[in-house]
Each structure stands twice: as C-alpha cells, then as structure tokens.
Structure 1
Amino acid sequence: MTSSPARWTTEELAEDATVSASLFRTERLSVSGAWESHYQNARNKFELLFQKLNNLNPDGITDANLADAYGSGLGETLRYLAGPPISDDDLQVIADVDSIAPGVLKKKPEDVRKLFEVIERVIDIHRFPWLNAGTAPTDQERDAALLASSVLLAAQRIATERRVVGKDGQETQVKDYLRSQGFTEVTAATITTIVKGPQPMQFCAECLLGERKADVVVRLHDSRLMAIECKVSNSATNSVKRLNNDAAVKAEYWLKMFGTLQVVPAAMLSGVFKVMNLEQAQQRGLALFWAHDLDKLGAFIGSTK
C-alpha cells in the first residue's frame, strides 16, 4: 500500500502559517543593506544620464548624446524619465522600432531619436518641471529630480529582486535538501508518461509534467512522481493566486492526467498564507510542506520506501 502525505489539521496549518509569516516579517525588516545598494546604483545611473544629457536641458539633448547614453547602458534609466516609467516592450512598440538593444541602436541614430520622442511625450513633469518651461534646471530642481528618480528605480529593482530571489531561493533550498537526502539532479525533460522523467533517487527542475510546468519533480522510492510547486506569498490575498489559482489547479490536472496512484502533487510554502486557503488547497489534492520545516518533506519521502 502506498504512503500518502499527511493531511494537516486546521491547528497544524495555523501554527505553521504563523511561523512562516513571522519569518517573512523578519526577512522584510532586514532589507536596509540591499536598499542602500539599489539606491546608490540607481543614483549613479541617473547622475551619469544627467551628465551625458546636459542636465536634461532641452537645448542640450542631441542625437549624439542620446546615442551615447544608450551605448552606456542607460536605456532603462531613460525609460524611468517617463511618468509612470515605460516598459521596454511598450517603448519599442510605440516608437515603432525593430529593437532597443544598444548594439542595434548604435547603427540606427534615427531610432534613438524616435525612442526619445516617445519618452518626451510622457515625461514626468512633476520630477522634471523645467522641461515644460524649456529652461535649464535650477540646482534645487536637479537635486530633487535625482532623488525622486533614484528612489523610483531602486524601489522597482528591489521589488523585482524579491519576486525572483524569493521563488528561486526556495527552489534552491528544496533541491539542496533533496541532495542532502541522497538524490541527484538530472536534466529536465518533458514527462508524458509516469515511467519518464527522473528515475529512482533522482529529481529534475523546471520541467513539463504533461502540459503543466512543475518546479521540482522527484521520483519517490515506490516509483511515483512527486511534483513540487515552490510558492512564496507576501500577503494573505496573494496566497489565493499562488496556492489556490495556480498550484491547486495544477494538482487537479496532474491527478486527472496521471492518476491518484501515480503522482503526488505538492507545494512548498514560505511567506504569508491564509489558513482557509491552505485548507482549500489541501482538499483539492495538494500536499503541503513548509520551507521552514523541510524534515517533514524528508519524512514523507522516506515513508515511500
């Protein structure tokens, strides 16, 4: 008889959710070093941009210094002159250019001007009021614009880093734990039948299990596949999207596709989750584990021998 993952009680789920939320708060409050680094990096970029474009003096912005700015890797900084900042994709489509890569733009100065004309139309007049007046900025206006722009870019960079590093870090944590249990990572490949994919004492990452991607797939000792979704949530509201509208939906698909005796859908959780959402996901066939207590994952894997 195959072993089934534990179904946690409401009290057990609430206890783990409390621990996870507490760890999340601690991590968020220890961000000062990262913030300083992102702010200083953004500040350096905007100071360099102002230097190359003559403090954004309307009479001092030429095709030559725009090309120089793009060639110096300041394309993102230029996009952040807009209010709100404009994305790479939007800028390329609106300007109707083939590419915004610096190497391509170097050969097409006319495209550089088209890009900046788009940015000029949506320039943030609150940060750069002198552009409307058609004058050079005062020292006070320049300093205020540098500060506001640097904070805006730094905030976006740290938000992006949190999203990427959070999930990637959790996935790395899971893979490192599996290695500590004697498992070996193998190259990911699409798994269309239960006999494909990792073999005994193996796992793979970022692979298609049927038509849905799984973050980590482990071959259990009893030959079943365990599909683990790594989910990091920064709020109880966000947990619905991460857990119920994504991981639980995949769980139902995998169970229907491969059968309840062949696959074990699971989620590895960290951050903030609402207990009601955890209970709902568990009822839909998703096994729940926590990044702060990986030994429970190890205990289940061991029980499949």
Structure 2
Amino acid sequence: MKRFPEPIKWTIGEIEAETAIARELYAQRRPAEGRDVYRIAVAEARHEVRELLDASDDLFDFGNVLQARKTLLDAARYLDAPPISAADLATVSGHGESSMTPKAMAARTAVIGAGLDPDRFPWLFETPQRRPTDGERRAAIDSTASMIAAQRATTVLRNMWAKRQEKAVADILEQNRYTQVKRRRIDSFADLPAGLFCPESMVFGQKSDVPVGLRNGRYLLIECKVSGSAVNSYKRLNHETVNKRDTWEKGFAAQAYTAAVLGGVFRPVNVLAAQERGVYIFWEHDLTPLAAFLDQVG
C-alpha cells in the first residue's frame, strides 16, 4: 500500500459519461424539488407582503412602517420596479446592510418609496390618490410574493443541495472510520489531526466545505459543487475551486489534496481542465472512488 496514494484521475471519455449522468439526475429532481420549495417560499412571502400592506395602510403610510417592523425590510425591497437588491439599497441609501439605526431605516425607506412600482400599486399614482380595489390589492400581494419567492427558493435549493452533498460525503467518511468534529480554523496540520473531519471551515484563509485529516498525515480538502448551468459551474469549479487549490498547495507545501464533489451541470472540458490544474474529481451520484481512496490511505 502506498503511503501517499492519489485519488482517481478520469479520462475525458469517463468525464463525459459521468457528466451526462449528473446532468440527467439534476434534470429529474429539479422540477419537483423546485416546485415544493417555491410553494413554501411563496406562502411565507405572501404573508409578509400582506403584513407590509396592512401595517402601512396599503403603502399610504409606508414612511413609518419599516421603523417599527424592521423584519419586513427584505420584503419591502421587492415593492420597487425593479426590485432593489440589498447591496444596491445599502449603496444608494448610504448605510451598510447591517445598520438598523433609525437614520439608516429612514434612508432605506426613502429609497424604496421613490421606486415603488406604479403597475402593481396604481392607486398611489393616480390623481387624486384612492383606495385600492380588492382585486388590485390581491394582485399586488400575489405578484410581489412571487418575486420574493423566486429569489428565496433559488437560495433554499442551492443550500439544500449543498447540504445533501456534504451529508453524503460525511457518510462515506464515517463509514471509513473518520470522526466528525466541530468546525475550526485550520492553518497547520496540528489543527485537524489524522482521522478527523469537520464541517465548513476556514483553511488558510479560504472556506473548505469538508476538510479531512487523512491517516497518512495529509489533508483532503473537499469542495461540494452543485450547478444548474455550465456558465455557473465554470465559475465555481474552474475559478473558485482551482484558486483555493493553489492557495492550499502553497500553504501546506503540496501536502494537501483538493477535491470537488460534483452534481448537476458541468461541461466535460471544464472538468478535465480543473483536474489538470490539480483538483481531484468525485461525483455525487457515485462516491465509491472516494471510499476507495480513503481505503488506500489506510
């Protein structure tokens, strides 16, 4: 048994076959999972928008509502046409996202109030102003809630898929007699001894989804990647993961393996390029090669 075995390296033909499987599995589960998550998100968002309109007297008293109900700020961003992002709201208002002072809330309220959507809230823009009809109010609530839910559902799905990958990796590690410990900062081999792994932690200044202290004294630093598009996957694998790999190789004097567990949509040539840059590839749909590598290590 080699003391320092390497994980599997794939040929382009093998990568093409594995990416096809990953894409098909993503296509099968995305509609149902997306629909379920969206339904929950839109119900929650509809409640928030209704509360926002109730508290602001159908937006006639919008200037005061966010001061009293700061939790409605996220929903309020979607009242604008187009909705204003949290980052843009911070820039335009002149107050950072974390600031909740009365002055900051007043500035945000002014920015949002100036951008209210006349198509969704026509009663505010007629002369003279009038009360909304029941149909207008219902349509405004539903359309705004849909915008909010679409954004939130995307985030929930991304987090859900990442957690599923991380759990699958953790299960393989535990089956191979590795013990999970609390997250920690890792800057040396003493920080995560052999036989241990932990959840997402800072490793030499970069986040690693699943750092592993291998029994041969090296580290296996695993990135979990799920993508729904080739463009997004290129950014996450060929830029983010490859850059982390370069940092970790320097930090640990080439004594750390960087690996990516992939699920979803990835172009074979991009996967091959990442592998050629030193990133070892595993597939969420078949982690047998990861188990085999751990067995080789001992």
TM-score range, shorter chain: 0.7 to 0.9
Is the Cα–Cα contact under 8 Å of residues 79 and 86 in structure 1 kept in the other structure?
yes
**Percent identical residues:** 33
What amino acid is aligned across from residue 212 of structure 1 in structure 2?
Q
Residue 278 in structure 1 maps to residue 282 in structure 2: no
Paired with 1:96 and 1:168, the residues of 2 have a C-alpha distance of 35
Paired with 1:75 and 1:211, the residues of 2 have a C-alpha distance of 32
What is the aligned partner in structure 1 of residue 74 from structure 2? 76
Paired with 1:11 and 1:156, the residues of 2 have a C-alpha distance of 36
1:96 Cα offset (Å) = 4.7
What is the aligned partner in structure 2 of residue 265 from structure 1? 258
Paired with 1:225 and 1:149, the residues of 2 have a C-alpha distance of 47
Structure-2 change in CA distance of 1:286 and 1:95 (3 Å):
closer
What amino acid is aligned across from residue 74 of structure 1 in structure 2?
L
What is the aligned partner in structure 2 of residue 221 from structure 1? 215
Is the Cα–Cα contact under 8 Å of residues 251 and 285 in structure 1 kept in the other structure?
yes
Structure-2 change in CA distance of 1:272 and 1:99 (3 Å):
closer
| 1:149 equivalent among 144, 154, 163 | 144
Is the Cα–Cα contact under 8 Å of residues 8 and 289 in structure 2 kept in the other structure?
no
What is the aligned partner in structure 1 of residue 114 from structure 2? 121
Q: What is the alpha-carbon root mean square deviation over aligned residues? A: 2.4
| 1:295 equivalent among 284, 288, 292 | 288
Is the Cα–Cα contact under 8 Å of residues 87 and 97 in structure 2 kept in the other structure?
no
Structure-2 change in CA distance of 1:48 and 1:12 (3 Å):
same
What is the aligned partner in structure 2 of residue 87 from structure 1? 85
Paired with 1:89 and 1:244, the residues of 2 have a C-alpha distance of 26
What amino acid is aligned across from residue 132 of structure 1 in structure 2?
F
Is the Cα–Cα contact under 8 Å of residues 183 and 200 in structure 2 kept in the other structure?
yes
Q: 275-284 vs 179-188, which deviates more?
A: 179-188
Structure-2 change in CA distance of 1:213 and 1:10 (3 Å):
same
1:264 Cα offset (Å) = 1.4
Unaligned runs of 5+ in 2: none
1:242 Cα offset (Å) = 1.0
Paired with 2:163 and 2:215, the residues of 1 have a C-alpha distance of 26
What is the aligned partner in structure 2 of residue 26 from structure 1? 28
What amino acid is aligned across from residue 185 of structure 2 in structure 1?
T
- SS in structure 1 opposite 2:260? strand
1:117 Cα offset (Å) = 2.2
Is the Cα–Cα contact under 8 Å of residues 248 and 286 in structure 1 kept in the other structure?
yes
What amino acid is aligned across from residue 85 of structure 2 in structure 1?
S
Which structure is richer in relative contact order (CA contacts within 8 A, separation 6 or more)?
A: 2
Structure-2 change in CA distance of 1:247 and 1:92 (3 Å):
closer
Aligned length: 293
Paired with 1:139 and 1:191, the residues of 2 have a C-alpha distance of 58
Is the Cα–Cα contact under 8 Å of residues 63 and 109 in structure 2 kept in the other structure?
no
Residue 50 in structure 1 maps to residue 45 in structure 2: no
Q: 270-279 vs 10-19, which deviates more?
A: 10-19
Is the Cα–Cα contact under 8 Å of residues 17 and 272 in structure 1 kept in the other structure?
yes
Structure-2 change in CA distance of 1:303 and 1:111 (3 Å):
closer
Is the Cα–Cα contact under 8 Å of residues 223 and 260 in structure 2 kept in the other structure?
yes
TM-score by structure 2 length?
0.88
Paired with 1:74 and 1:139, the residues of 2 have a C-alpha distance of 22
- SS in structure 1 opposite 2:259? strand
What amino acid is aligned across from residue 203 of structure 1 in structure 2?
F
1:113 Cα offset (Å) = 4.6
Paired with 2:253 and 2:264, the residues of 1 have a C-alpha distance of 30
| 1:5 equivalent among 4, 7, 20 | 7
Residue 140 in structure 1 maps to residue 135 in structure 2: yes
Paired with 1:263 and 1:92, the residues of 2 have a C-alpha distance of 39
What amino acid is aligned across from residue 152 of structure 1 in structure 2?
M
Structure-2 change in CA distance of 1:45 and 1:182 (3 Å):
same
Unaligned runs of 5+ in 1: none
Residue 197 in structure 1 maps to residue 191 in structure 2: yes
1:135 Cα offset (Å) = 2.5
- SS in structure 1 opposite 2:177? coil
- SS in structure 1 opposite 2:120? coil
| 1:235 equivalent among 226, 229, 233 | 229
Q: Deviations over 1:21-40 (max 9, x none)?
A: 11111221113222222111
